[in-house]
Amino acid sequence: MPQDLNLSTILVVDDESRNIHLLKRFLNEAGFANLHTTTDSRQALGMYKQLQPDLVLLDISMPFLDGFEVMKQFDEARGREEYIPILVLTADVTPETRRRALSCGAKDFLTKPLDLSDVLLRVRNLLETRRLYVQIREQNVHLERTVWERTHQLAESRREILARLALAGEYRDHDTGEHTRRVGNLAAAISAACGSNPEFVELIRHAAPLHDVGKIGIPDHILRNSGKLKPEEFDLMKLHTTIGAKILSGSQDPLLQMAESIVLSHHEWWDGSGYPSGLAGASIPFEGRIVALADNLDALLSERPYKRAWTLEAAVAEIKSLRGKQFDPALTDVLVGLTEKNDFLALARATDSNSASAETMIQGGVDAVGSCETK
């Protein structure tokens, strides 16, 4: 709506040509130039939709469609959040007509013969109300956009902090930040292939990289050991699950709650022989079972000081050999199905510099490739 009220768009609907002529002349003299008129109420709706007027001056008693029917049409055409005032002008002075007009959407009511100075006063008041409404609506839109942008910034900042926390744990172990990101992408792809809802897929993509954050608390001589760990050393290594859970515990944030669950459960085995709690089968959290597969597959495909990188075929064969023992059988089948897709290696090796394939595969909706529990 224009800031200058005289530039407002006004629609006049009245079947009497002399009334139209009188109102048009008077409003023109008062400075209102953007006037549109009709004496045929059947044209009112089309003009209303086309013009989106700031104010409607409407007669009640008209042939074809009376003012009540026209107001009903306007009400159905008007957006739910829109406010376009209607000033009813009529010779019918009965209280029933007044009540009905106001209940049908009229914002003000004047009886004929018209006092033109009174018409001008009502017109300006209603246009001022319309302007204030539009200003408030625009301010609300601006505030909503500002709140959304700020919320988005906070969410991005939170994710960046958590990603850096994940890197802090990984640098103690692998001297690289790519493993954590790849595990997140793989976990998201597996959950998407299971048909999990997009919110869950997004959560696990950002929570999975924190799976080994507890390694911050493990001594270097154990983390950097290129040989086989002694039993007592392996017992210390196992503590990274409980250390990580303690770091992440107590949060009300769904992302951190999932991350805590993953940290505690991604080394549990389907047959109950894992750690730290010896959980078995479906008692292992769904997200933990997914990350167990993603973490192990990436570890097999990655070069480490104590081993060379495995081929995809060898890694898949190893995963399949542990189906039903270490890994959830249904999820294993889903992962195997994913590995048969042409773009799987691009996903499995995706890093910050070449993550487009991972994003496409995950966000584009990976077709379900197996039957498994979903979230």
Contact in structure between 289 and 307 (CB atoms under 8 Å): no
Domain that holds residue 359: 172-363
What's the domain count of the chain? 2
Domain assignment of residue 373, yes or no: no
**Rounded CA gap, 186 and 304, in Å?**
19
**Rounded CA gap, 86 and 104, in Å?**
10
Same domain (yes/no): 15, 67: yes
DSSP bridge pairs for 35: 10
The domain that holds 234 is classified in CATH as: 1.10.3210.10
**DSSP letter for each residue of 187-242:** HHHHHHHTT--HHHHHHHHHHGGGTTGGGGGS-HHHHT--SPPPHHHHHHHHHHHH
Same domain (yes/no): 127, 229: no
**Rounded CA gap, 218 and 166, in Å?**
14
Domain assignment of residue 371, yes or no: no
C-alpha closest to that of 10 among 40, 30, 28, 36: 36
Same domain (yes/no): 263, 131: no
Same domain (yes/no): 178, 97: no
Domain end residue (candidates: 101, 127, 143): 143
CB burial readout 260-289, b (16+ within 10 A) else e:
bbbbbbbbbbbeeebbbeebeeeebbbbbb
Q: Which amino acid is at 133?
A: Y
Q: What is the pLDDT along the chain (375 residues), one digit of tens a residue?
A: 666 888 899 999 999 999 999 999 999 999 998 999 999 999 999 999 999 999 999 999 999 999 999 999 998 888 777 889 999 988 887 888 888 988 888 999 888 888 888 899 999 999 999 999 888 888 988 888 888 888 777 777 777 777 777 767 666 555 456 888 899 999 999 999 999 999 999 999 999 999 999 988 888 888 777 778 889 989 999 999 999 999 999 888 899 999 999 999 999 999 999 999 999 999 999 999 999 999 999 999 988 766 788 999 999 999 999 999 999 999 999 999 998 887 787 777 765 444 444 555 555 444 555 556 767
The answer to whether the pTM exceeds 0.75 is: no
Same domain (yes/no): 106, 215: no
55-59: strand order across its sheet:
35-38, 10-13, 55-59, 86-90, 108-111
Domain assignment of residue 27, yes or no: yes
Those residues whose C-beta lies under 8 Å from the C-beta of residue 120, and which sit 6 or more positions away, are 26, 27, 30
DSSP bridge pairs for 56: 11, 86
Q: What is the pLDDT of residue 202?
A: 92
**DSSP letter for each residue of 121-137:** HHHHHHHHHHHHHHHHH
**Rounded CA gap, 46 and 34, in Å?**
17
Retrieve residue 145's tokens: 């956009």
Contact in structure between 29 and 117 (CB atoms under 8 Å): no
E strand or H helix at 44 = helix 44-51
Residue at token pair 């009529």: 90
Same domain (yes/no): 193, 130: no
Domain end residue (candidates: 101, 125, 143): 143
Same domain (yes/no): 180, 116: no
Same domain (yes/no): 79, 176: no
**Rounded CA gap, 185 and 294, in Å?**
9
Same domain (yes/no): 100, 231: no
User: Alpha-carbon Rg of the chain, whole angstroms?
Assistant: 34
| Strand locations in 60-113 (E) | 86-90, 108-111
Domain assignment of residue 102, yes or no: yes
CA 4 to chain centre: 38
Same domain (yes/no): 180, 309: yes
The helix/strand/coil state of 168 is: helix
Domain assignment of residue 213, yes or no: yes
**Rounded CA gap, 251 and 242, in Å?**
16
Same domain (yes/no): 130, 178: no
Retrieve residue 267's tokens: 């080394």
Domain assignment of residue 157, yes or no: no
Q: What is the pLDDT of residue 344?
A: 80
The domain that holds 55 is classified in CATH as: 3.40.50.2300
E strand or H helix at 55 = strand 55-59
**Rounded CA gap, 33 and 133, in Å?**
22
Same domain (yes/no): 18, 94: yes
